[in-house]
Structure 1
Amino acid sequence: MSEALSALLPLDGFQAASAGPLYLKLRQTLEDAIRSGRLAHGAALPAERDLADYASVSRVTVRKAVDDLVKDGLLLRRHGSGTFVVKPVSRVEQPLSHLTSFTEDMARRGLVTRSEWLERGLYHPSPEESVMLGLAPGTLVARIGRLRIANDMPLAIERASLSAEFLPDPGRVTTSLYAELEKANTRPVRAIQRISACNVKNPDAGLLQMSVGAAGLSIERISYLGSGRVVEFTRSLYRGDAYDFVAELTLGDR
Protein backbone atom coordinates (compact mmCIF):
# COMPACT_ATOMS: atom_id res chain seq x y z
CA MET A 1 0.00 0.00 0.00
CA SER A 2 2.79 2.45 0.89
CA GLU A 3 4.50 1.92 -2.49
CA ALA A 4 1.24 2.66 -4.30
CA LEU A 5 0.65 5.75 -2.16
CA SER A 6 4.20 7.03 -2.69
CA ALA A 7 3.56 7.11 -6.44
CA LEU A 8 0.31 9.03 -5.95
CA LEU A 9 1.31 11.25 -3.04
CA PRO A 10 5.04 12.06 -2.85
CA LEU A 11 5.86 13.40 0.62
CA ASP A 12 9.19 15.12 0.00
CA GLY A 13 9.71 17.64 2.80
CA PHE A 14 6.26 16.89 4.21
CA GLN A 15 7.37 16.82 7.84
CA ALA A 16 9.51 20.00 7.62
CA ALA A 17 8.70 22.01 10.73
CA SER A 18 8.62 25.35 8.92
CA ALA A 19 6.05 24.30 6.36
CA GLY A 20 2.94 25.01 8.47
CA PRO A 21 0.19 22.82 9.95
CA LEU A 22 0.30 19.19 8.91
CA TYR A 23 -3.32 19.11 7.74
CA LEU A 24 -2.65 22.00 5.32
CA LYS A 25 0.41 20.22 3.93
CA LEU A 26 -1.56 17.01 3.49
CA ARG A 27 -4.40 18.96 1.93
CA GLN A 28 -2.00 20.55 -0.58
CA THR A 29 -0.41 17.17 -1.35
CA LEU A 30 -3.83 15.66 -2.07
CA GLU A 31 -4.90 18.67 -4.14
CA ASP A 32 -1.70 18.51 -6.21
CA ALA A 33 -2.37 14.83 -6.90
CA ILE A 34 -5.94 15.58 -7.99
CA ARG A 35 -5.06 18.51 -10.23
CA SER A 36 -2.13 16.68 -11.82
CA GLY A 37 -4.32 13.67 -12.56
CA ARG A 38 -2.40 11.21 -10.36
CA LEU A 39 -5.65 10.85 -8.42
CA ALA A 40 -8.05 10.51 -11.34
CA HIS A 41 -11.63 11.71 -11.55
CA GLY A 42 -13.92 9.08 -10.04
CA ALA A 43 -11.13 7.26 -8.19
CA ALA A 44 -11.70 6.27 -4.59
CA LEU A 45 -9.52 8.06 -2.05
CA PRO A 46 -7.43 5.70 0.07
CA ALA A 47 -8.85 4.99 3.50
CA GLU A 48 -8.14 7.53 6.27
CA ARG A 49 -6.25 4.87 8.23
CA ASP A 50 -3.95 4.15 5.28
CA LEU A 51 -3.32 7.83 4.63
CA ALA A 52 -2.59 8.46 8.30
CA ASP A 53 -0.11 5.57 8.48
CA TYR A 54 1.57 6.58 5.23
CA ALA A 55 2.00 10.26 6.17
CA SER A 56 2.73 9.52 9.87
CA VAL A 57 -0.07 11.80 11.02
CA SER A 58 -3.23 11.30 13.06
CA ARG A 59 -6.54 10.35 11.50
CA VAL A 60 -7.89 13.66 12.79
CA THR A 61 -5.31 15.44 10.62
CA VAL A 62 -6.31 13.37 7.60
CA ARG A 63 -10.01 14.00 8.22
CA LYS A 64 -9.48 17.77 8.43
CA ALA A 65 -7.50 17.82 5.17
CA VAL A 66 -10.16 15.72 3.45
CA ASP A 67 -12.97 17.90 4.87
CA ASP A 68 -11.35 20.98 3.31
CA LEU A 69 -11.17 19.32 -0.10
CA VAL A 70 -14.78 18.16 0.16
CA LYS A 71 -15.83 21.76 0.87
CA ASP A 72 -13.85 22.93 -2.16
CA GLY A 73 -15.54 20.36 -4.40
CA LEU A 74 -12.43 18.28 -5.17
CA LEU A 75 -13.61 15.29 -3.16
CA LEU A 76 -17.08 13.82 -2.79
CA ARG A 77 -18.28 11.69 0.11
CA ARG A 78 -20.82 9.00 -0.72
CA HIS A 79 -22.52 7.57 2.31
CA GLY A 80 -21.64 3.91 2.69
CA SER A 81 -19.27 3.95 -0.30
CA GLY A 82 -16.32 6.16 0.62
CA THR A 83 -14.70 9.35 -0.65
CA PHE A 84 -14.11 9.90 -4.35
CA VAL A 85 -12.09 12.29 -6.49
CA VAL A 86 -14.03 14.90 -8.45
CA LYS A 87 -12.67 16.40 -11.64
CA PRO A 88 -11.47 19.98 -10.93
CA VAL A 89 -13.90 22.52 -12.34
CA SER A 90 -12.74 25.38 -14.52
CA ARG A 91 -14.55 28.46 -13.29
CA VAL A 92 -16.94 30.17 -15.66
CA GLU A 93 -17.13 33.95 -15.55
CA GLN A 94 -20.68 35.06 -16.30
CA PRO A 95 -21.41 38.77 -16.91
CA LEU A 96 -24.65 40.08 -15.47
CA SER A 97 -25.17 42.79 -18.07
CA HIS A 98 -26.57 40.55 -20.85
CA LEU A 99 -29.57 38.24 -20.89
CA THR A 100 -28.39 35.06 -22.62
CA SER A 101 -29.14 31.35 -22.38
CA PHE A 102 -26.88 28.69 -20.89
CA THR A 103 -26.42 27.17 -24.35
CA GLU A 104 -25.28 30.51 -25.79
CA ASP A 105 -22.95 31.19 -22.85
CA MET A 106 -21.18 27.85 -23.14
CA ALA A 107 -20.98 27.95 -26.95
CA ARG A 108 -19.09 31.26 -26.77
CA ARG A 109 -16.54 29.52 -24.53
CA GLY A 110 -16.16 26.58 -26.89
CA LEU A 111 -17.62 24.11 -24.39
CA VAL A 112 -19.63 21.08 -25.43
CA THR A 113 -23.00 21.17 -23.68
CA ARG A 114 -25.85 18.77 -23.11
CA SER A 115 -28.85 18.55 -20.82
CA GLU A 116 -30.59 15.85 -18.84
CA TRP A 117 -34.32 16.41 -18.59
CA LEU A 118 -35.74 16.54 -15.09
CA GLU A 119 -39.18 17.81 -16.08
CA ARG A 120 -40.88 18.89 -19.31
CA GLY A 121 -44.60 19.31 -19.83
CA LEU A 122 -47.80 21.24 -19.18
CA TYR A 123 -49.21 21.42 -15.65
CA HIS A 124 -51.73 23.22 -13.50
CA PRO A 125 -49.80 26.14 -12.02
CA SER A 126 -48.84 26.44 -8.39
CA PRO A 127 -50.08 29.56 -6.56
CA GLU A 128 -46.58 31.03 -6.83
CA GLU A 129 -46.41 30.45 -10.58
CA SER A 130 -49.85 32.03 -11.07
CA VAL A 131 -48.73 35.14 -9.21
CA MET A 132 -45.24 35.45 -10.72
CA LEU A 133 -46.43 34.88 -14.29
CA GLY A 134 -49.70 36.80 -13.97
CA LEU A 135 -51.74 33.85 -15.24
CA ALA A 136 -55.46 34.06 -15.87
CA PRO A 137 -57.63 31.40 -14.18
CA GLY A 138 -57.54 28.09 -16.04
CA THR A 139 -54.23 28.83 -17.81
CA LEU A 140 -51.74 25.97 -17.83
CA VAL A 141 -48.05 26.44 -17.15
CA ALA A 142 -45.16 24.96 -19.12
CA ARG A 143 -42.33 23.67 -16.96
CA ILE A 144 -38.81 23.00 -18.19
CA GLY A 145 -36.42 21.40 -15.70
CA ARG A 146 -32.91 20.49 -16.79
CA LEU A 147 -29.52 19.48 -15.47
CA ARG A 148 -27.08 21.57 -17.52
CA ILE A 149 -23.77 19.89 -18.34
CA ALA A 150 -20.65 21.34 -20.00
CA ASN A 151 -17.72 19.15 -21.04
CA ASP A 152 -19.28 16.29 -19.04
CA MET A 153 -19.34 18.33 -15.82
CA PRO A 154 -22.76 19.15 -14.30
CA LEU A 155 -22.81 22.90 -13.71
CA ALA A 156 -26.38 23.93 -12.99
CA ILE A 157 -29.96 22.88 -12.44
CA GLU A 158 -32.50 25.12 -14.17
CA ARG A 159 -36.24 25.02 -13.53
CA ALA A 160 -38.23 27.41 -15.73
CA SER A 161 -41.97 28.13 -15.75
CA LEU A 162 -43.82 29.89 -18.57
CA SER A 163 -47.43 30.44 -19.52
CA ALA A 164 -48.58 27.76 -21.94
CA GLU A 165 -49.58 30.68 -24.17
CA PHE A 166 -45.88 31.27 -24.86
CA LEU A 167 -44.83 27.61 -24.90
CA PRO A 168 -47.82 25.43 -25.82
CA ASP A 169 -45.61 22.41 -26.58
CA PRO A 170 -42.63 22.11 -24.16
CA GLY A 171 -41.51 19.02 -26.07
CA ARG A 172 -40.32 21.30 -28.86
CA VAL A 173 -37.50 22.58 -26.65
CA THR A 174 -34.46 20.48 -27.46
CA THR A 175 -31.46 22.67 -26.63
CA SER A 176 -32.14 26.37 -26.04
CA LEU A 177 -35.43 27.56 -24.57
CA TYR A 178 -34.72 31.10 -25.74
CA ALA A 179 -34.12 29.89 -29.30
CA GLU A 180 -37.56 28.27 -29.26
CA LEU A 181 -39.18 31.43 -27.87
CA GLU A 182 -37.45 33.52 -30.50
CA LYS A 183 -39.23 31.55 -33.25
CA ALA A 184 -42.54 32.87 -31.90
CA ASN A 185 -41.13 36.36 -31.29
CA THR A 186 -41.59 35.92 -27.53
CA ARG A 187 -37.96 35.86 -26.43
CA PRO A 188 -37.47 38.02 -23.31
CA VAL A 189 -35.61 41.29 -23.68
CA ARG A 190 -34.87 42.09 -20.05
CA ALA A 191 -34.89 40.38 -16.68
CA ILE A 192 -34.58 40.96 -12.96
CA GLN A 193 -32.27 38.46 -11.32
CA ARG A 194 -31.64 37.79 -7.64
CA ILE A 195 -28.55 35.81 -6.60
CA SER A 196 -27.98 34.39 -3.14
CA ALA A 197 -25.57 31.95 -1.53
CA CYS A 198 -26.89 28.59 -0.39
CA ASN A 199 -25.83 25.16 0.77
CA VAL A 200 -26.73 22.44 -1.72
CA LYS A 201 -29.12 19.78 -0.43
CA ASN A 202 -30.21 16.41 -1.75
CA PRO A 203 -31.34 15.47 -4.34
CA ASP A 204 -29.72 18.45 -6.09
CA ALA A 205 -26.31 17.65 -4.57
CA GLY A 206 -26.39 14.22 -6.18
CA LEU A 207 -27.35 15.64 -9.57
CA LEU A 208 -24.51 18.19 -9.44
CA GLN A 209 -22.01 15.61 -8.10
CA MET A 210 -21.41 17.73 -5.02
CA SER A 211 -21.30 16.93 -1.34
CA VAL A 212 -24.41 17.75 0.66
CA GLY A 213 -23.91 21.16 2.24
CA ALA A 214 -21.40 22.36 -0.38
CA ALA A 215 -21.60 25.98 -1.50
CA GLY A 216 -24.00 26.83 -4.31
CA LEU A 217 -25.53 29.89 -5.94
CA SER A 218 -29.31 30.16 -5.99
CA ILE A 219 -30.65 32.37 -8.78
CA GLU A 220 -34.21 33.55 -9.25
CA ARG A 221 -35.00 35.32 -12.52
CA ILE A 222 -38.12 37.02 -13.84
CA SER A 223 -37.90 37.77 -17.57
CA TYR A 224 -40.02 40.25 -19.52
CA LEU A 225 -41.14 40.90 -23.07
CA GLY A 226 -40.69 44.33 -24.61
CA SER A 227 -44.31 45.06 -23.67
CA GLY A 228 -43.47 44.58 -20.01
CA ARG A 229 -45.33 41.30 -19.67
CA VAL A 230 -43.65 38.49 -17.72
CA VAL A 231 -42.71 35.59 -19.99
CA GLU A 232 -40.50 33.42 -17.77
CA PHE A 233 -39.99 32.64 -14.10
CA THR A 234 -36.84 30.60 -13.43
CA ARG A 235 -35.15 29.18 -10.38
CA SER A 236 -31.63 27.88 -10.93
CA LEU A 237 -28.94 26.32 -8.78
CA TYR A 238 -25.32 26.72 -9.87
CA ARG A 239 -22.18 25.10 -8.52
CA GLY A 240 -20.46 27.59 -6.24
CA ASP A 241 -17.05 26.25 -7.28
CA ALA A 242 -17.70 26.73 -10.99
CA TYR A 243 -19.30 30.16 -11.47
CA ASP A 244 -18.25 33.75 -10.93
CA PHE A 245 -20.96 36.29 -11.71
CA VAL A 246 -19.45 39.61 -12.74
CA ALA A 247 -21.18 43.00 -12.93
CA GLU A 248 -19.77 46.14 -14.53
CA LEU A 249 -20.54 49.26 -12.49
CA THR A 250 -20.34 52.92 -13.46
CA LEU A 251 -20.12 55.82 -11.06
CA GLY A 252 -23.05 58.20 -11.08
CA ASP A 253 -22.84 61.96 -10.77
CA ARG A 254 -22.23 63.31 -7.32
Structure 2
Amino acid sequence: MTRIALYQARSGIDPVANAERLVDAIKLARGQGAQMLFTPEMTGLLDRDRGRAGQSIRTEEEDVTLDAARKAAAKEGLWLQLGSLALDRGDGRWVNRSFVIDPAGHIVARYDKMHLFDVDLETGERWRESAVYEAGDSPVLAEKTAVGALGMTICYDLRFAALFARLAEAGAQCISVPAAFTVPTGKAHWEVLLRARAIENGLFIVAAAQVGEHEDGRETYGHSMVCDPWGNVLLDMGDKAGVGCCDLDPALIDRARAAIPALRHRRDIPAIDD
Protein backbone atom coordinates (compact mmCIF):
# COMPACT_ATOMS: atom_id res chain seq x y z
CA MET A 1 0.00 0.00 0.00
CA THR A 2 1.06 3.56 -0.69
CA ARG A 3 -0.42 6.32 1.43
CA ILE A 4 -1.03 9.59 -0.38
CA ALA A 5 -2.47 12.90 0.77
CA LEU A 6 -4.48 15.53 -1.08
CA TYR A 7 -4.45 19.23 -0.20
CA GLN A 8 -7.82 20.83 -0.94
CA ALA A 9 -6.94 24.52 -0.97
CA ARG A 10 -8.69 27.86 -1.03
CA SER A 11 -5.86 29.79 -2.61
CA GLY A 12 -5.97 33.56 -2.63
CA ILE A 13 -4.25 36.53 -4.24
CA ASP A 14 -1.17 36.61 -1.97
CA PRO A 15 1.51 34.09 -3.04
CA VAL A 16 3.36 34.36 0.28
CA ALA A 17 0.25 33.45 2.29
CA ASN A 18 -0.54 30.62 -0.12
CA ALA A 19 3.01 29.30 0.21
CA GLU A 20 2.74 29.31 4.00
CA ARG A 21 -0.48 27.29 3.86
CA LEU A 22 1.14 24.84 1.46
CA VAL A 23 4.08 24.30 3.82
CA ASP A 24 1.60 23.58 6.63
CA ALA A 25 -0.17 21.06 4.39
CA ILE A 26 3.12 19.31 3.60
CA LYS A 27 3.88 18.99 7.32
CA LEU A 28 0.38 17.71 8.03
CA ALA A 29 0.52 15.16 5.21
CA ARG A 30 3.82 13.79 6.42
CA GLY A 31 2.52 13.67 9.98
CA GLN A 32 -0.35 11.49 8.76
CA GLY A 33 2.06 9.02 7.18
CA ALA A 34 1.69 10.09 3.54
CA GLN A 35 4.50 9.33 1.13
CA MET A 36 3.26 11.82 -1.45
CA LEU A 37 1.11 14.96 -1.38
CA PHE A 38 -0.98 16.20 -4.31
CA THR A 39 -2.03 19.87 -4.51
CA PRO A 40 -4.51 21.69 -6.79
CA GLU A 41 -4.20 23.83 -9.87
CA MET A 42 -2.96 27.35 -9.10
CA THR A 43 -1.71 26.43 -5.63
CA GLY A 44 0.44 29.56 -5.46
CA LEU A 45 -1.97 32.19 -6.77
CA LEU A 46 -5.64 32.24 -7.75
CA ASP A 47 -6.54 35.65 -9.15
CA ARG A 48 -8.73 36.30 -12.18
CA ASP A 49 -7.77 40.00 -12.15
CA ARG A 50 -4.95 39.65 -14.64
CA GLY A 51 -3.56 43.12 -14.06
CA ARG A 52 -3.22 42.46 -10.34
CA ALA A 53 -2.04 38.87 -10.88
CA GLY A 54 0.68 40.09 -13.20
CA GLN A 55 2.27 41.93 -10.29
CA SER A 56 2.74 38.62 -8.45
CA ILE A 57 3.54 36.16 -11.22
CA ARG A 58 7.25 35.41 -11.48
CA THR A 59 9.57 33.14 -13.41
CA GLU A 60 10.13 29.61 -12.16
CA GLU A 61 13.44 30.66 -10.60
CA GLU A 62 11.80 33.51 -8.67
CA ASP A 63 8.51 31.92 -7.62
CA VAL A 64 8.06 31.94 -3.83
CA THR A 65 5.64 29.02 -3.73
CA LEU A 66 7.91 26.72 -5.71
CA ASP A 67 10.88 27.64 -3.54
CA ALA A 68 8.92 27.04 -0.33
CA ALA A 69 7.50 23.76 -1.67
CA ARG A 70 10.91 22.36 -2.59
CA LYS A 71 12.38 23.24 0.79
CA ALA A 72 9.42 21.81 2.70
CA ALA A 73 9.41 18.59 0.65
CA ALA A 74 13.11 18.13 1.40
CA LYS A 75 12.66 18.88 5.10
CA GLU A 76 9.80 16.40 5.46
CA GLY A 77 11.21 13.79 3.06
CA LEU A 78 7.97 13.76 1.06
CA TRP A 79 7.15 13.39 -2.62
CA LEU A 80 5.13 16.36 -3.87
CA GLN A 81 2.93 16.73 -6.93
CA LEU A 82 2.61 20.52 -7.00
CA GLY A 83 -0.63 20.81 -8.96
CA SER A 84 0.24 23.96 -10.85
CA LEU A 85 1.63 27.46 -10.67
CA ALA A 86 1.11 30.47 -12.92
CA LEU A 87 4.59 31.37 -14.14
CA ASP A 88 6.12 34.05 -16.35
CA ARG A 89 7.93 32.68 -19.42
CA GLY A 90 9.92 35.88 -19.74
CA ASP A 91 8.41 36.83 -23.10
CA GLY A 92 5.15 38.41 -22.00
CA ARG A 93 3.28 35.09 -21.91
CA TRP A 94 2.44 32.91 -18.89
CA VAL A 95 2.33 29.14 -18.43
CA ASN A 96 0.21 26.97 -16.16
CA ARG A 97 2.87 24.51 -15.00
CA SER A 98 2.70 21.38 -12.86
CA PHE A 99 5.67 19.86 -11.01
CA VAL A 100 6.76 16.60 -9.45
CA ILE A 101 9.25 17.17 -6.64
CA ASP A 102 11.16 14.32 -4.99
CA PRO A 103 11.89 13.92 -1.25
CA ALA A 104 15.23 15.70 -1.69
CA GLY A 105 13.47 18.77 -3.08
CA HIS A 106 14.55 18.20 -6.67
CA ILE A 107 12.19 18.87 -9.57
CA VAL A 108 11.96 15.60 -11.51
CA ALA A 109 9.16 16.49 -13.95
CA ARG A 110 7.38 19.54 -15.37
CA TYR A 111 4.18 19.70 -17.40
CA ASP A 112 2.56 22.74 -19.04
CA LYS A 113 -1.23 22.58 -19.38
CA MET A 114 -2.04 21.56 -22.95
CA HIS A 115 -5.76 22.40 -23.18
CA LEU A 116 -6.69 25.98 -22.29
CA PHE A 117 -10.11 26.88 -20.88
CA ASP A 118 -11.77 29.30 -23.32
CA VAL A 119 -15.51 29.10 -22.63
CA ASP A 120 -18.69 31.07 -21.95
CA LEU A 121 -20.87 29.46 -19.28
CA GLU A 122 -24.63 29.83 -18.86
CA THR A 123 -23.99 31.50 -15.50
CA GLY A 124 -22.33 34.41 -17.29
CA GLU A 125 -18.82 33.33 -16.37
CA ARG A 126 -16.38 33.90 -19.24
CA TRP A 127 -12.89 32.42 -19.31
CA ARG A 128 -10.15 33.03 -21.88
CA GLU A 129 -6.98 31.35 -20.65
CA SER A 130 -5.41 31.58 -24.08
CA ALA A 131 -5.38 35.38 -23.83
CA VAL A 132 -2.34 35.26 -21.54
CA TYR A 133 -1.30 31.61 -21.19
CA GLU A 134 0.76 29.60 -23.65
CA ALA A 135 -0.38 26.00 -24.03
CA GLY A 136 2.00 23.10 -23.53
CA ASP A 137 2.68 20.87 -26.51
CA SER A 138 3.52 17.42 -25.11
CA PRO A 139 2.39 14.88 -22.49
CA VAL A 140 4.67 14.20 -19.53
CA LEU A 141 5.18 11.01 -17.55
CA ALA A 142 7.16 11.07 -14.28
CA GLU A 143 8.43 7.51 -14.43
CA LYS A 144 9.50 6.89 -10.82
CA THR A 145 7.48 8.36 -7.95
CA ALA A 146 5.92 7.07 -4.75
CA VAL A 147 2.84 6.05 -6.78
CA GLY A 148 4.84 4.52 -9.62
CA ALA A 149 4.76 6.05 -13.08
CA LEU A 150 2.72 9.25 -12.79
CA GLY A 151 1.04 10.92 -15.75
CA MET A 152 0.47 14.66 -15.40
CA THR A 153 -2.58 16.66 -16.51
CA ILE A 154 -4.24 19.89 -15.34
CA CYS A 155 -7.97 20.65 -14.91
CA TYR A 156 -9.53 21.17 -18.39
CA ASP A 157 -7.27 18.40 -19.74
CA LEU A 158 -9.72 16.04 -17.99
CA ARG A 159 -12.13 16.42 -20.92
CA PHE A 160 -9.66 15.08 -23.48
CA ALA A 161 -9.56 11.30 -23.18
CA ALA A 162 -6.82 10.90 -25.78
CA LEU A 163 -4.28 12.56 -23.47
CA PHE A 164 -5.06 10.06 -20.71
CA ALA A 165 -4.85 7.19 -23.19
CA ARG A 166 -1.38 8.29 -24.33
CA LEU A 167 -0.18 8.46 -20.73
CA ALA A 168 -1.59 5.01 -19.96
CA GLU A 169 -0.01 3.54 -23.09
CA ALA A 170 3.33 5.04 -21.98
CA GLY A 171 3.09 3.14 -18.68
CA ALA A 172 1.23 5.45 -16.29
CA GLN A 173 -0.07 3.73 -13.17
CA CYS A 174 -1.59 6.91 -11.79
CA ILE A 175 -2.63 10.22 -13.39
CA SER A 176 -2.90 13.49 -11.48
CA VAL A 177 -5.66 15.98 -12.28
CA PRO A 178 -5.06 19.13 -10.19
CA ALA A 179 -8.01 21.45 -10.76
CA ALA A 180 -9.91 24.64 -10.04
CA PHE A 181 -13.26 23.52 -11.46
CA THR A 182 -16.15 25.97 -11.55
CA VAL A 183 -19.19 25.00 -9.47
CA PRO A 184 -21.62 24.44 -12.41
CA THR A 185 -19.23 22.25 -14.39
CA GLY A 186 -18.07 20.52 -11.22
CA LYS A 187 -21.59 19.50 -10.23
CA ALA A 188 -22.32 18.26 -13.73
CA HIS A 189 -19.14 16.53 -14.81
CA TRP A 190 -16.34 16.30 -12.22
CA GLU A 191 -16.96 12.89 -10.68
CA VAL A 192 -18.23 11.16 -13.80
CA LEU A 193 -15.21 12.25 -15.87
CA LEU A 194 -12.69 11.29 -13.19
CA ARG A 195 -14.23 7.85 -12.81
CA ALA A 196 -14.41 7.40 -16.57
CA ARG A 197 -10.72 8.24 -17.04
CA ALA A 198 -9.83 5.71 -14.31
CA ILE A 199 -11.99 2.98 -15.84
CA GLU A 200 -10.88 3.58 -19.44
CA ASN A 201 -7.22 3.28 -18.55
CA GLY A 202 -7.22 0.88 -15.60
CA LEU A 203 -5.27 3.16 -13.27
CA PHE A 204 -5.58 5.50 -10.29
CA ILE A 205 -6.80 9.05 -10.78
CA VAL A 206 -5.76 11.57 -8.12
CA ALA A 207 -7.48 14.93 -8.38
CA ALA A 208 -6.66 17.64 -5.82
CA ALA A 209 -8.93 20.66 -6.22
CA GLN A 210 -9.53 24.23 -5.17
CA VAL A 211 -12.65 24.81 -3.07
CA GLY A 212 -15.02 27.52 -1.94
CA GLU A 213 -15.23 31.30 -2.30
CA HIS A 214 -11.90 32.90 -3.17
CA GLU A 215 -10.50 36.40 -2.66
CA ASP A 216 -10.78 37.16 -6.36
CA GLY A 217 -14.54 36.55 -6.28
CA ARG A 218 -14.68 33.17 -7.97
CA GLU A 219 -16.14 30.00 -6.45
CA THR A 220 -14.65 26.56 -7.04
CA TYR A 221 -16.24 23.16 -6.66
CA GLY A 222 -13.86 21.23 -4.40
CA HIS A 223 -14.53 17.49 -4.00
CA SER A 224 -10.87 16.51 -4.34
CA MET A 225 -11.10 12.87 -5.33
CA VAL A 226 -9.23 9.60 -5.72
CA CYS A 227 -10.60 6.90 -8.03
CA ASP A 228 -9.25 3.38 -8.28
CA PRO A 229 -8.70 1.45 -11.54
CA TRP A 230 -12.21 -0.04 -11.38
CA GLY A 231 -13.76 3.41 -11.02
CA ASN A 232 -14.50 3.23 -7.30
CA VAL A 233 -14.23 6.53 -5.39
CA LEU A 234 -11.72 6.00 -2.60
CA LEU A 235 -11.77 9.59 -1.34
CA ASP A 236 -14.09 12.58 -1.79
CA MET A 237 -13.14 15.61 0.30
CA GLY A 238 -16.41 17.46 -0.14
CA ASP A 239 -16.52 21.24 0.17
CA LYS A 240 -14.08 21.99 2.99
CA ALA A 241 -10.43 23.01 2.68
CA GLY A 242 -7.86 20.74 4.30
CA VAL A 243 -5.73 17.62 3.88
CA GLY A 244 -7.15 14.15 3.30
CA CYS A 245 -5.38 10.80 3.05
CA CYS A 246 -5.96 7.66 1.04
CA ASP A 247 -4.18 4.32 0.57
CA LEU A 248 -3.47 3.01 -2.94
CA ASP A 249 -3.04 -0.71 -3.63
CA PRO A 250 -1.02 -1.12 -6.86
CA ALA A 251 -2.30 -4.70 -7.26
CA LEU A 252 -5.65 -3.21 -8.28
CA ILE A 253 -4.12 -1.98 -11.55
CA ASP A 254 -3.21 -5.46 -12.80
CA ARG A 255 -6.53 -6.83 -11.57
CA ALA A 256 -8.57 -4.21 -13.44
CA ARG A 257 -6.52 -4.48 -16.63
CA ALA A 258 -6.78 -8.27 -16.60
CA ALA A 259 -10.55 -8.10 -16.23
CA ILE A 260 -10.99 -5.43 -18.93
CA PRO A 261 -7.90 -5.44 -21.20
CA ALA A 262 -8.93 -2.29 -23.08
CA LEU A 263 -5.38 -0.95 -23.28
CA ARG A 264 -4.32 -3.99 -25.31
CA HIS A 265 -7.38 -3.79 -27.54
CA ARG A 266 -7.07 -0.14 -28.57
CA ARG A 267 -6.68 0.59 -32.28
CA ASP A 268 -5.89 3.77 -34.13
CA ILE A 269 -9.15 5.13 -35.49
CA PRO A 270 -8.83 6.71 -38.94
CA ALA A 271 -10.51 10.00 -39.74
CA ILE A 272 -13.93 9.86 -41.41
CA ASP A 273 -13.76 11.23 -44.95
CA ASP A 274 -16.48 13.67 -45.97
TM-score, normalised by the number of residues in structure 2: 0.26
Pair member with larger Rg? 1
Larger RCO (alpha carbons 8 Å, 6+ apart): 2
